[in-house]
Amino acid sequence: MTQEQIIKNCENLLEAGSEQNPLYQMLYTMMNMLMEMEAARITGSEKEEHNSDRTDYRSGTRNRRFDTRLGTFNLKVPKFRNSGYVPYFMQNRQRSEEALVSMVVQAYTNGVSTRKIKHLAESLGIDSISAGEISDMNKSLDEMVNAFQTAPLEKELPVIWVDAVYEKIRSGSHVKSMTVMIVKAINLEGKPEIIAIEAMENESEATYTEFFNKLKARGLEKVWLCVSDAHTGLQAAIRKCWTGSVWQRCKVHFMRNIMATVPKTQKESFGAELKKIWQQKQGKKQ
């Protein structure tokens, strides 16, 4: 599976354009840090630093919208007294957006090396990135990942959606395909949020049980409804870990399973009729 397919799967599952999405937050932080690097090169000075060799001065910010597959960002782009400035990643939107999102996905699932961050910055037009700047970005990303993975959870959640995508991840000196497990939840106030994203060796009852036990260690005790595909190991882990919870098969996966058996020439018409089943309104009880 390609990086593009993996990200697309995450989008479909998680409605990723959300500020509660940790990948969204990481990308937002990364873009702000990249703009600060560019600003330092334009002015010849770090922010609020007194420097006799300064080449320009900051003059506030302006709001700029930047659309990505992880959502829409409203960025505060620096303005300068003597220079016009548009972030490089906004000038070359498609290529830059792909590079940024790919880096965030890698950073979350397996961390990123200083070499990769240096290569990313140079590909976005930032030359001569310093070791200190690389270290700061790496540290910020690591701190965000750790904060999300250890954040306390509510004791009770009405609904969780569980799914997995596959990613090629470096482990030691080897690159191998691993399962990236993802959980989205709705809390008692009706607020949706992503509560877990974690790379595991494979999809099995054992790995899902281990995954759910980590959610329990963060404080989650009860789930009313678990929604997932029909993976038998996942269903077994749900029964074991969330006693009393109701399991429901994800309609998106169910529809994909059905459509896979439909001849190509009939997929469009059959799919339109199939959707009507899910769109039916419940009738009044007599």
As separate numbers, helices (DSSP H) first and strands (DSSP E) second, the chain gives: 10, 7
CB 148 within 8 A of CB 29: no
List, for residues 211-248, the tens digit of each pLDDT value.
Answer: 999 999 999 999 999 998 888 999 999 999 999 999 98
CA 118 to chain centroid, in Å, comes to 22
**In terms of pTM, does the model score above 0.75?**
no
What are the start-end ranges of the H helices in 82-195? Answer: 88-91, 93-110, 114-123, 131-150
CA 46 to chain centre: 30
Polymer length in residues for the chain: 286
In the block, which residue shows the tokens 């799914």?
A: 163
pLDDT in tens, 246-272: 998 877 767 777 777 888 888 888 878
